[in-house]
Amino acid sequence: MTAALIYTRVSTTEQVENLSLDTQEQGCRAHCRREGLKVDRVFREEGESAKTTDRPQLQEMLAYCEAEAKRRDISVLIVYRVDRLTREVHDHTVIRATLRNCGVTVRAVTETFDDSPSGKFIENVMAATAQFDNDLRSVRTVDGMKEALRRGRWVWQAPLGYLRTDRHAPMSMIHDPDTAPLVLHSFEAIASRRLTKVETVAELTGLGLHTRRGNRLSPQSLGKMLNNPLYMGRIINLKWDIDVEGDFVPVVDPVLFRRVQEVLNGRAPARSSRAHDNPDFPLRRVVRCRQCSSPLTGSWSTGRSRRYPYYRCPKKGCGGSNVRKERLEELLVNRLGEMSLRAELLDLVGAVVKDAWKERVNASEAAQKALTAGLWEVEKKRDTLVDAYLGGRGIDQATFERQTKRLDNNEAELRNRIDIAHPTEVDLTRAIDLAQAMLVDLPSCWNRLEPQHRHQFIAALYPAGLTYEDETIGTVENPWWMATSDAVAGESDGLVPPTGFEPVLPA
């Protein structure tokens, strides 16, 4: 008896649960009984879209055909409808060709066609119809999403701090009572400049905030969260020209949100360093406990007749780091000696930095040009809007004011980004000379610096921080000057020093 394979597919988990797969399989088995075919194997695709062929069961079925079709006398693949196999004409052609090479043809339970010229034509029409139907649904779905967004309803997964509601609820999202306070806490920590992004991530993790998948937040994911206008209650989608007030309650006040943007863009006034940058402990917040990644804090312990300075891990129960100030700073000086740059590489490093700086300037100028073009587009839209309003072409005052406000916001944002993109004025020759003098003898530079300048010095050299454990101080990642040195030695591109750092060596 000739053997057949059965392939069934649904796109969503809801269809899996409502027995759609079982219905397809029953219909396919009944078809095999009528045609005298023996069912060799059933491949069930649960919750996979037909827009792609990268489906586990489909790929397994094709591999099975290539390996077993001739040996097991498999000549037919049965599907309930052609669109269960794929909804793309090109994919259908590729799948059919692969099956044909294995000696396997396709038959559908609810559609009639064969391998005759007219049958192939009908099959192709069915495949094209499936794609047309899918494309039409996509357009309708996107149009529906756009309209929902314009009305202030969020249509995708809720970000941290929010929960999605029922589609009939008056608000599309509500606050998550567990995570919304922590999200607000992160905005307040950054706005006050109390913590850096890395420190905020560590604090939030300690307070129990994780991603939707239960993973630890990263500085990058925190940065995306802090830049998300949803948290101040606005839905902004530049691709679809949408900027509206959401139907949900903001997690943060717009003033606080804008304050955070100023801090992230380096436009906020510098915070007072008195609380954190204690000159007695220049490695405070720069060196981290290797066991728990918490930034070390510094404090004085009182003995019988004097006080002793210590760096400690602040996390309760960790006990990973507790080291005398003198010892930790001695280890740092030794590390600086190991990482000082060889004199013969100084000129080469200077050349690499010049090339990298030139690329940075070119990129800044290109960004400015693109942003300026966007500014002109905003002006054109404003002129068109004014002409339509004054000409009485169907625009009422409320619409005019709303669109004018949107254009004003767009213009302010573009001007802000143009200011940020403007390349920093730097005396590159002097900066390279200073850097070379510093990098060739890092321990001497450290020893000559005033205590209040040492924290900035180390933070600039090691932007990713240092770690300490068991009389060993190490780096989270190689500092930029070592990467540049290695790249020069290997005749490859180097890295650029941290933006805005121009050390001033003492006399």
Which pLDDT does position 39 carry in this prediction? 93
Strands 466-469 and 472-475: antiparallel
- Whether the per-residue pLDDT at 218 is higher than 60: the answer is yes
The predicted pLDDT at position 127 comes to 66
pLDDT of residue 506: 38
Q: What is the pLDDT of residue 150?
A: 85
Q: Which residue has the higher pLDDT, 248 or 476?
A: 248
Mean pLDDT of 362-376: 82
Structure-block tokens of residue 175: 């606050």
Does 287 have pLDDT greater than 60?
yes
Q: At what angle do helices 480-489 and 346-390 cross, to 10 degrees?
A: 110
320: which 2 tokens? 């990973």
pLDDT at 455: 78
For residue 309, what are its two tokens? Answer: 């300075």
- The 10s digit of each residue's pLDDT in 145-186 is 788 888 888 888 888 889 988 877 888 889 988 888 888 988
- The H-or-E segment that residue 370 falls in is helix 346-390
Specify the pTM. Answer: 0.37
pLDDT of residue 19 exceeding 50, the answer is: yes
Give the residue with greater pLDDT, 393 vs 59: 59
Asked if the model's pLDDT at residue 206 lies above 70, the reply is: yes
Burial 138-159 (b: 16+ CB within 10 A, else e): eeeeeeeeeebbeebbbeeebb
pLDDT cut 70: percent of the chain above it = 77
Mean pLDDT, to the nearest integer, of 335-343?
A: 74
How far is it, in rounded angstroms, from Cα 254 to Cα 259?
Answer: 8
Q: Average pLDDT, stretch 113-128?
A: 72
| pLDDT for the residue numbered 507 | 37
- The C-alpha atoms of residue 317 and residue 435 are separated, in whole angstroms, by 41
Q: What is the pLDDT of residue 497?
A: 43
pLDDT of the residue at 479? 64
Q: Which residues contact 419 (CB under 8 A, 6 or more apart)?
A: none
The residues with which 3 forms a beta bridge, in sequence order, are: 38, 74
- In tens, the pLDDT along 20-68 reads 888 899 999 999 999 999 999 999 988 777 667 788 899 999 999 999 9
pLDDT tens digits for range 236-276: 888 888 888 888 888 888 888 988 888 888 765 555 444 45
User: What's the distance, CA 69 to chain centroid?
Assistant: 44
Would you list the domain boundaries of the chain? 3-145, 172-264, 287-343+429-489, 358-425
Q: What pLDDT does residue 29 have?
A: 93
pLDDT score recorded for residue 43: 93
pLDDT of residue 7: 93
Give the residue from 355, 502, 348, 503 showing the smallest Cα distance to 425: 502
Name the more confident of 313 and 500.
Answer: 313
Over pLDDT 90: what percentage of the chain?
10
Q: Whole-number mean pLDDT of the chain?
A: 78
Q: Which two tokens stand for residue 116?
A: 């005759």
The predicted structure's pLDDT at residue 491: 45
- Judge whether residue 361 has pLDDT over 80: no
Quote the pLDDT of residue 505.
Answer: 40
* CATH number of the 172-264 domain: 3.90.1750.20
Q: Does residue 97 have a pLDDT over 80?
A: yes
The arrangement of strands across the sheet holding 307-312 comes to: 297-302, 307-312, 322-324
HEC readout, 268-288:
CCCCCCCCCCCCCCCCCCCEE
- Is pLDDT of 88 > 50? yes
| pLDDT, position 355 | 75
**Residue 342: pLDDT above 70?**
no
Residues 176 and 178: their CA atoms lie apart, in Å, by 5
* Span 3-145 CATH architecture: 3-Layer(aba) Sandwich (3.40)
CB 76 within 8 A of CB 39: no
